[in-house]
Structure 1
C-alpha cells in the first residue's frame, strides 16, 4: 500500500493559504510539563495538599464500605450536565444559583475555555486583568478579539485600579476577565471592589468572567468571599475541585451563571466534553456535600504555611513580596542579576526545589511559589532555597 504523504512544503504552516488558528504557547503549563516530574520538592504546585480517597472518606464521615458500593456502578456517560446531587452541592457554594444556572465541566480549565469560546467573537473587545491564568487573554486573542490588558501593580498590592479599568472598558466591550483570588499574586478583591467592577461592566453591557478556582482560601474570617455570579446579573463564575478542594485528580469543574449563558455553553460543550466521568462526579459530590470540612482543612494548611513563608521572607534580604490575602501562591521578587528562568533552573538543579519563573507569567524579575504543600515539604524547600540564595549573595 502506498501512502501519499504531504510534501515538506505542504507542512509549512507559514506559507500563504495555509492559515490555522494561532494560540500562544501556555507558559506555565509548558514549564510544569518540563520539570515537575524531575524535581524533589515541588513548590510550584498550586493545589492545596492533595487528598487521598481515604482522607476524603474520613472528612465525609464515610468508611471503606463506600468503595464497595461503587462496584455496581455502570460506567456509562451518566448525567450529561452533571448529576442532580452534584449540581445541588455546587449551588450550595453560592448565594443565588440554582441547578439551571450550573453546568459541570472538565476542570476550571474546561470551564474557562467554554465561556471564552461561547461569548467571544473576532473583533470583540475583551479586557483581561493580568497577571492571571493565561487562558484569559490567550484564548480570546486566538479567536481574533481585541484584547486589552490591565496590568496589576505591586504598589497597588496587586489589586486593579478601577479608573484604569473603566478607561479600557468601552461601550460594547464583550467581556471582562478577572481571577479572584488572584493567581499568581494571592491578592483578594472584596465585595466592594467586585461591585465596582460590576458597575463598570453594567455601564458597557459587558459580561464579567471571574475565575474563582481558589475561592474558599481567604486568610482571614470565614475563608470564603462573595462570588461574581451572585453579585452581577451578567456575572459568570468558574471553579473546580482542584485547588481549594485538594482533588485535582478528579478533573471536575463547573460554570455558574445566567441561564442563557449555560444554555449557550451547552452547545459548545457537546462538541468537546459530552459529560464528565461518573467516578469523578461521585467523589466530587461527596467532597462538595461536605465542603466546609474540606475547606477547613485547606484553610488550616494555607494559613499555617503562609505564616511560615512570611517568617522566611522577613529573613531573606534578597527576597521581597506583597503578602497574599488568599489562594495558594505568592509572587516573590528577587534581587539577583539573572533571569527568572535561570533562577528556577539553577535552583532546581542545585537543590531539587521547583518554583515557577515569572517569565512564564509575563512577570520577569519574580518567581511564583506555591505554599500549600504539606508543612514539612514547604519548610525543607525554603531551607534549601535559603542555602541557594546565600551562595549567590
Structure 2
C-alpha cells in the first residue's frame, strides 16, 4: 500500500525535540501523573496500591467499564456499547477507514485538516473529493459546494471540529445541515473531534455522534485532557453497522488498550470538569496573548480561532513556509509548523495552548525573525 508522507508528523519528528520555544505543540499544556491526582483530588495511593496488585493481562478487551462510562459523559446519547476504544485518535481514524472504506468509495473531506482524513482513504483506493475551507468563509464548509460533491453513493463525509489548523468551529445548526446532506445519500459522517470542548465560551459543543444517526465521533485523551502519553482514544457512534465492522476489524490490529492507560483515563474523566476548567482557562488566556500579538504584526493576518488550540497565520513575506519555518528555527529557536503541511502556502500553524511563558517567548522570537527579514528585504510579497 502506498501512502503520501505525513507532512505535519514528519516535520514534528524532525524538529520538535531541539526547539527552544515549542509553539507548534497542539495539546493543552501536558500534565504529569502527580498533577492529574492533584487536579482531580483522587487518592493516588489507593489507586496505585489497587493497580499494582493487578495481574497485567490484556485487561478488558473492549475497554475498561470505568473508562467507557467516563467517555459517555462527553456525549448526550452515547452508551458504553456505542464505543470502540483505540490507540489514540490517530488509531481511531485509521481504524475507521480500515474498517469501512473500500476501493472506489466516494469520500468527501475538508482541507485544511489533519492529513489522515484524506491520505488514508486515498491510499485504500477511495475516490476522495476535497472541499477547500476558505478564510473568507472563516474556514467553515460551503454547503452548496458540499452538496455538489456528495453525490448518490457517497460512502463518507470527513470533518474536523474544531478544525486543525484554523480553529474554526461548526455550530449545531451547521452540523445539522451537513447531516441532512449526508442523510440524503445515506453517508456516514466521520468527525475528528479531538479538540472538542476547548471553546472560548461555556456553551456545550455538540458532537456529530449525538446529532446524526450515522455520525461517528473520534476523540482521545490527548488534546482536551492533556494526557497524550496515555495514547488512548475512541470511536463513538450509534450506527450498528459501523460498530460491527469496527469491532470485527479490531481483532486484527488492536486487541485491547493498555490497562494502566485506561485506569488513569478513568480517573481523569471521573473528574473531567476540573481538567476542562484548567484547560479552558489556558486556551482562553493564551488566545488573548496571541490575538494581541497578531494585531501588532504588520506582516501577519489570521482568522481568529473560535475553539481548539491552533491558529493558522498567513504572512506576506516572499518566502515559502518550509523555508520560513526552518530558517526561523535555526535563527531563533522558535518552532512552528509550515502551512504547506496543510496545503496552505505562505502561512504557519501555531499551537497556543502551551504555558504562557513559552508562548510569549516564542512569539517574541517570531517577531525577531520577522524584523530581521524586514531589515534585509525592502519590498514584501504582494
Q: Is residue 122 of structure 1 aligned with residue 103 of structure 2?
A: yes
Residue of structure 1 equivalent to 2:126:
145
Structure 1 segment 39-78 matched on structure 2, within 5 A? 39-65=19-45, 66-78=47-59
Q: 2:320 aligns with which of 316, 334, 339?
A: 339
C-alpha displacement at 1:60, in angstroms?
1.8
Matched, 1:200 2:184: no
Map 1:29-40 to 2 at 5 A: 29-40=9-20
- Compare 176-185 and 381-390 and name the one that shifted more: 381-390
Question: Is structure 2 residue 367 aligned with structure 1 residue 392?
Answer: no
Change (3 A) 1:114 1:175: same
Counterpart of 2:72 (choices 76, 86, 91) is 91
Shift of 1:40: 1.3
Task: Write the distance in 1 (CA, Å) between the matches of 2:209 and 2:332.
Answer: 43
Moved over 2 A (4+): 66-70
Give the CA deviation at 1:88: 1.1
Q: How many residues align?
A: 372
1:234 corresponding residue in structure 2? 214
Cα displacement (A) at 1:289: 1.1
Q: How does 1:156-171 map to 2 (within 5 A)?
A: 156-171=137-152
Query: For 1:84-137, what per-residue CA distance to the aligned partner results, in whole angstroms no more than 9, with x for missing partners?
Result: 111111111100011110111000001111111111110010000111110110
Deviation at 1:268, TM superposition (A): 1.2
Which of 103, 108, 131 is equivalent to 2:89? 108
Q: Does 1:244 align with 2:193?
A: no
Answer yes or no: is the 8 Å Cα contact 2:111–2:342 preserved in 1.
Answer: no
Q: Residue by residue, what CA displacement relative to the aligned partner does 1:178-197 show, whole Å, maximum 9, x if unpaired? A: 00000000000000000000
The TM-score with structure 1 as length reference comes to: 0.93
2:306 paired residue number: 325
The CA distance in 2 between the partners of 1:85 and 1:67, in whole Å, is 16
Pairwise CA distance, 1:385? 1.0
Equivalent residues of 2:339, 2:348 under 8 A apart: yes
Mark the runs of 5 or more structure 1 residues left unpaired by the alignment: 1-20
Distance in 1 between residues matched to 2:355 and 2:54, nearest whole Å: 34
Residue by residue over 1:165-186, the C-alpha shift from the partner in whole angstroms, topping out at 9 and shown as x without a partner, is: 0100001100000000000000
Q: Distance in 2 between matches of 1:279 and 1:82?
A: 12
Root-mean-square deviation (CA, aligned residues, Å) is: 0.9
